[in-house]
Amino acid sequence: MTGARGTGTSILVGVATLLCVATLLPLAALIVSAFAGSTDAVAHYASTVLPQYILNTVTLVIIVAVLATTAGVSSAWLVTMCRFPGREIFSWALVLPLSMPAYVSAYAYTYLLSHPGPVQTGLRNVTGWGPHEYWFPDIRSLGGAAFVISMVLFPYVYLMARTAFLQQSASAFESARIMGRSPWRAFIGVAVPLARPAIVAGVALVVMETLADYGAVSFFGVQTFTTAIYRTWFSLGDRTAAVQLALVLVSLVLLVVALERVGRRGKRFSEAGRPFRGLHLSGWRAGLAVLACTLPVALGFLVPALTLVGLGVSLDVSWLDARTTGLIANTVTLATVGAIATVSVAVVIAYARRLSGGRMTQALGQLASFGYAVPGAVIAVGLLIPFGAFDRWLHHLMMATFGFGTGLLLTGTIAAVVFAYVVRFLAVSLNGVEAGMARISPSLDSASRTLGAGQGRTFLRIHAPLLSGGLLTAFLITFVDIMKELPATLILRPFNFDTLAIRANRLASDERLAEAAVPSLMIIAVGLIPVVLLSRQIARTNRRRGEVSAADASAIEVIASGEAKPDEVAPSVPA
């Protein structure tokens, strides 16, 4: 029996290892292709446009990181540690911008703030100024792109920071207040440093998403590495130069990941103790808190969504015609299949790591997280190389052997698109699945083995029911991410197979913003459903966590007062 279980574990670890190695296929293809080709084109780029690409990319990342950190940390602190009107609503409303793709927000703000748009038109009507008699910030610029991207990505920082603030004990903050520090100084000097590992992790996600963005920067005309890769491959036809640029971008992304891990090494979140009861805000302080939480939600979700609604209503067209319905079906199908495939692979890897604690299985998680740090355009380019080579080899083989060709079996297929999604978003699903498995006591595995159940039966009868919440969360997050993914879908999709994102991008690129509003609104509507479900689940989890923390705090107080012995106080068990 033990030998059978050992064999089963070895097989599972072997399968998980193969799946993780498969996620490295794009990187391996990029490395081989980059070093096999000439570097003359990249050398020319290095002396002409490459410095500008680097400067634009770095500047964009810095501005987005600062804006997203400011909005995410401040709003997380307010809804977690303060009490003011609307606090419960803001706790979940601040997650809504996650349903807004950056490129969709870019379309809305371009219509709203461009020279012929309603804001500048109204300004000219009120003041009587002519077209060149006033200054107005250009939304189609690097600064505009940074603003739009930061307003839809700050929820990553918000969620990570809020989790860290919820885990903090009130003792440290109250000690700072007793020593005479104001709430603001205690926040800066105590709460933020304790939450720094979580904040850094959230900012790292924002930075990687910014480096991966294609739709918004392309629409605003900002030349970054991602847009340069796409244009070099598909517009200039220089595959070797595109691959070499992609490898440079991968190096930058891996540098960000390494810096994040170095900054997090040896640090941990403060452990939960007596829960913080919250600062009561009233008067102008409550007003400022409401304003600080309203602005990110309004700028990241409400303003672009309402702008697109206004544009869509102005069109005398059916919102759900046959073409739009087909686009919705394609989008939902890709997102559903991609999310199921990604979560399934994550379950195999997570279960293998749980059963085997060896160094190799621990390294699986590091391998699996590679894809999330790489832009979708780079993954697509990395997959086109081996897939195209395989299709050509098989086609020539079949022609020589049987007299007929096979055509493209992998390139330009749904399978290639789903494979790219698995590589890109495996880390997202894996984090959710492993977080759920970490809450399952190892004693349940031991009891199941004692009763003679195998690993498969143990997973189906014990782990799967207990993991249902974590699996749902992983599926919803991956579904939303896939639905918003543009460059990988744009490059790898089958011929004449469009999605809502591709349709919106094509119309916006032709400056048909009013027509682009309809598919853009459909993207938001489809993505809003899982985001709302996530928000409600987060709210329920936070309430349960608060109840557990309160029970633990009461138990500690009873023990400290001497009214009961430690073993007489029942420990709280998370729901």
Q: In the chain, pLDDT over 70 holds for what percent of residues?
A: 77
Residue 452, sorted as left (phi over 0), alpha (psi -120 to 50) or beta, turns out to be left
The angle subtended at Cα 367 by Cα 361 and Cα 371, nearest 5°, is 150
Q: Report the C-alpha gap between 483 and 98 in whole angstroms.
A: 12
Q: Of the candidates 209, 207, 204, which has an alpha carbon nearest to the alpha carbon of residue 261?
A: 204
Q: What is the pTM of this model?
A: 0.79
Higher-pLDDT residue of 352 and 157 is 157
Q: For the residues 19-28, what does the mean pLDDT come to? A: 84
Q: Report the C-alpha gap between 284 and 232 in whole angstroms.
A: 54
Q: What is the pLDDT of residue 557?
A: 34
Three-class secondary structure of residue 135 per DSSP: coil
The answer to whether residue 4 scores a pLDDT higher than 70 is no
The answer to whether residue 341 scores a pLDDT higher than 90 is yes
Neighbours of 59 (CB within 10 A): 15
Higher-pLDDT residue of 530 and 42 is 530
Task: Retrieve residue 491's tokens.
Answer: 């490059």
Higher-pLDDT residue of 170 and 286 is 286
Q: Report the C-alpha gap between 192 and 387 in whole angstroms.
A: 47
The answer to whether residue 393 scores a pLDDT higher than 50 is yes
Q: What is the pLDDT of residue 21?
A: 83
362 band by pLDDT with thresholds 50, 70 and 90? low
Q: Report the C-alpha gap between 80 and 278 in whole angstroms.
A: 7
pLDDT in tens, 262-277: 665 555 544 444 455 5
Q: Of the candidates 371, 319, 49, which has an alpha carbon nearest to the alpha carbon of residue 212?
A: 371
pLDDT in tens, 498-534: 898 898 888 888 878 888 888 888 888 888 888 777 7
Three-class secondary structure of residue 322 per DSSP: helix
Q: For the residues 155-168, what does the mean pLDDT come to? A: 81
230 band by pLDDT with thresholds 50, 70 and 90? confident
DSSP 102: H
Q: What is the pLDDT of residue 551?
A: 39
Residue ranges in 141-238 assigned as alpha helix (H): 142-167, 170-178, 183-186, 192-194, 196-212, 215-220, 225-230
Q: For the residues 424-448, what does the mean pLDDT come to? A: 74
For residue 492, the cross-strand partners are: none
Side-chain-side CA neighbours of residue 510 (13 Å)? 10
14 band by pLDDT with thresholds 50, 70 and 90? confident
Q: Is-contact 475 94, C-beta < 8 A?
A: no
Q: What is the pLDDT of residue 170?
A: 59
Element (H, E) at 542: helix 513-561
The answer to whether residue 479 scores a pLDDT higher than 80 is yes
Show Cβ contacts of residue 505 under 8 Å, excluding neighbours closer than 6 positions. 103, 215, 219, 486, 490
Residue 233 burial by CB count (10 A; 0-12/13-18/19+): exposed, middle or buried?
A: buried
Q: Report the C-alpha gap between 5 and 184 in whole angstroms.
A: 56
Q: Is-contact 97 301, C-beta < 8 A?
A: yes
- Strand segments, DSSP code E, in 261-396 are 279-280
Which of the listed ranges 138-147, 229-238, 398-407, 530-539 does the model predict with the highest average pLDDT?
138-147
pLDDT in tens, 43-66: 777 777 888 888 999 999 999 999
Residue 403, sorted as left (phi over 0), alpha (psi -120 to 50) or beta, turns out to be left
Q: What is the pLDDT of residue 186?
A: 67
Q: Report the C-alpha gap between 492 and 194 in whole angstroms.
A: 43
The answer to whether residue 552 scores a pLDDT higher than 50 is no
Residues in the chain: 575
Q: Which residue, chain included where needed, has tokens 């073409």?
A: 323
Three-class secondary structure of residue 125 per DSSP: helix
Q: For the residues 407-412, what does the mean pLDDT come to? A: 80
DSSP 485: -
Q: How far is CA 187 from the centre of its chain?
A: 27
Q: Is-contact 185 176, C-beta < 8 A?
A: yes
Average predicted confidence (pLDDT) for the chain: 78
Show Cβ contacts of residue 371 under 8 Å, excluding neighbours closer than 6 positions. 23, 26, 379, 422, 423, 424, 425, 426, 427
pLDDT in tens, 317-330: 677 778 888 888 99
The answer to whether residue 563 scores a pLDDT higher than 60 is no
